[in-house]
Structure 1
């Protein structure tokens, strides 16, 4: 009896989540969370270089932009509230950017 594809994908996701959670600090967790974007980007850039080499730089830059977007999104989800709170405690008149 063979292992189903969905089971392998599920195990891979669990391993990825464990790898992220077991990181020693927050910056490493963000790096590990967004690492799949870089992996896919490397594959896409390589395939583009083989087939449409003139488009290689565009693909590479696009995935670098996706990586930045991933890191920014994860940072906002995990740390933005604490950062805003720390800014308000050092400068009570700091504006949070929220509508009043």
Structure 2
């Protein structure tokens, strides 16, 4: 209970705690994470291109914003793509999540 009082009463103390935990392993992407992120983005783009649709047309067909597709396909997106977004995309192109990752690019 005393720790909670210190955090509430001392915002700078809270700032130091947050700063300390920002340096945890979840804070920055490793090289392996970046490579995986790139492979996912490239796989999404490849599967969308197989539909023959532009980002705009694909987005309209699936009732989502074009910027969402752009973010999913971007290798520069710092946030990456969640597994939930990948699953949503898979439904749009009529494949399973397993099919999505069962690609040679993920086996290297």
| TM-score exceeds 0.5 | no
Higher relative contact order (CA 8 A, sep 6+): 2
- Hey, which of these two has a bigger chunk of helix by percent? 1
